[in-house]
């Protein structure tokens, strides 16, 4: 059997009882470590589970699927994933690969940012399409996420923005070499995300495009949701550009044009 087990968002103890029981009986347990991170480290997980974990980086999950699935027809193999198993496309792909090879698959769900974001008090049913904000690089500054946020705004719903993570990304120079070298990990902060959004707004204003979202729009910054050090701040987008919420992971919400009175009440405690 091949298990994909969600770890939730906070620390070791956010795993479900079902997930923990499975981990204890598996022959091999992989920890997916590049689409997200837990605030506790790998060592803390190993101590809590009382067993060794195999850290699975992007290369292993995307190209080494056969290695991960090896033996799963006759023994139990698990892949641990921060949040919920279906948060990333690669995990869906892995389920398909397993089933094509006649391996039974079982999924153990857990909280992910998509529902835990409810902690800021905006109603979960009042969000539109989720967007991802990527790190810009020289000459590559995509801004289509702005259009999705604007479309949600026109539909009177909020937008959850997931912020980029670069973990074990090969350096551009090393891509042409035999031996890959990796950049230090980086995690986009709410201020960096707000700054990119403000740049898009500025550029479009200069082009005299009519804008739904501008620098005064209400935004919510969230850090380390579900952990003991969770932080939430509600302020204008331009204020968010200078807010420091500390270590990763961060998420940003662009609030829609209408707030329910209960949402309004709840947000009050997070105002800058």
Contact set with a second copy (CB under 8 A): 6, 8-18, 20-21, 83-87, 89, 92-93, 95-96, 99, 107-112, 114-116, 118-119, 121, 123-132, 151, 155, 157, 162, 226, 262, 265-266, 269
Q: Which is nearer to a second copy, 17 or 176 (CB)?
A: 17
Cα angle at 134 between 6 and 147, to 5 degrees? Answer: 105
Q: Which is nearer to a second copy, 262 or 272 (CB)?
A: 262
Q: Which is nearer to a second copy, 84 or 239 (CB)?
A: 84
Q: Which is nearer to a second copy, 109 or 204 (CB)?
A: 109
- Compute and round to an integer the Cα radius of gyration of the chain: 20
Residue 109: phi and psi, rounded to 5, are: -75, 165
Whole-number minimum distance, CB 121 to a second copy, in Å? Answer: 6
Whole-number minimum distance, CB 103 to a second copy, in Å? Answer: 14
Q: Which helix (H) or strand (E) holds 3?
A: strand 2-6
Query: What does the DSSP assignment read for 209-242?
Result: ---SS-TTSEEEEEESTTSTT-EEEEEEHHHHTT
Residue with tokens 């940003």: 252
Structure letter (DSSP) for residue 185:
P
Whole-number minimum distance, CB 136 to a second copy, in Å? Answer: 20
Residue 250: phi and psi, rounded to 5, are: -110, 155
Cα angle at 224 between 161 and 250, to 5 degrees? Answer: 30
Q: Which is nearer to a second copy, 187 or 266 (CB)?
A: 266
Which residues are annotated binding-site positions for S-adenosyl-L-methionine? 9, 84, 87, 112-113, 163, 225, 250
Whole-number minimum distance, CB 145 to a second copy, in Å? Answer: 11
Whole-number minimum distance, CB 62 to a second copy, in Å? Answer: 13
Whole-number minimum distance, CB 91 to a second copy, in Å? Answer: 9
Which residues are annotated binding-site positions? 9, 84, 87, 112-113, 163, 225, 250
Burial class (CB in 10 A: 0-12, 13-18, 19+), 40: middle
Q: Which is nearer to a second copy, 74 or 89 (CB)?
A: 89
Residue 189: phi and psi, rounded to 5, are: -95, 165
């Amino acid at each position: 059997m091949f298990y994909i087990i969600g770890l939730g968002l906070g620390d070791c103890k956010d795993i479900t009882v079902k997930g923990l029981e499975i981990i204890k009986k598996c022959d091999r347990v992989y920890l997916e470590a590049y689409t997200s991170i837990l605030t506790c480290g790998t060592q803390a997980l190993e101590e809590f589970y009382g067993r060794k974990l195999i850290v699975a980086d992007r290369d292993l999950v995307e190209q080494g699927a056969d290695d991960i699935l090896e033996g799963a027809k006759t023994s139990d193999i698990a892949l641990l994933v921060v949040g919920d198993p279906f948060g990333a496309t690669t995990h869906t792909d892995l389920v398909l690969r397993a089933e094509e090879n006649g391996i039974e698959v079982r999924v153990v769900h857990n909280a992910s940012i998509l529902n835990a974001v409810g902690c800021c008090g905006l109603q979960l049913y009042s969000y539109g399409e989720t967007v991802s904000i990527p790190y810009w690089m020289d000459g590559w500054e995509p801004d289509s996420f702005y259009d999705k946020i604007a479309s949600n705004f026109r539909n009177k719903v909020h937008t959850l923005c997931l912020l980029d993570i670069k973990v074990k990304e090969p350096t551009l120079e090393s891509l042409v070499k035999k031996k890959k070298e990796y950049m230090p990990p980086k995690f986009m902060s709410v201020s960096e995300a707000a700054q990119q959004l403000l740049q898009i707004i500025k550029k479009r204003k200069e082009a005299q495009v009519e804008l739904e979202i501008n620098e005064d729009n209400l935004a919510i910054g969230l850090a380390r949701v579900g952990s003991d050090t969770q932080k939430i701040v509600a302020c204008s987008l331009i204020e968010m550009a200078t807010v420091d919420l500390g270590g990763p992971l961060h998420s940003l919400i662009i609030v829609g044009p209408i707030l329910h009175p209960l949402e309004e009440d709840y947000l009050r405690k997070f105002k800058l």
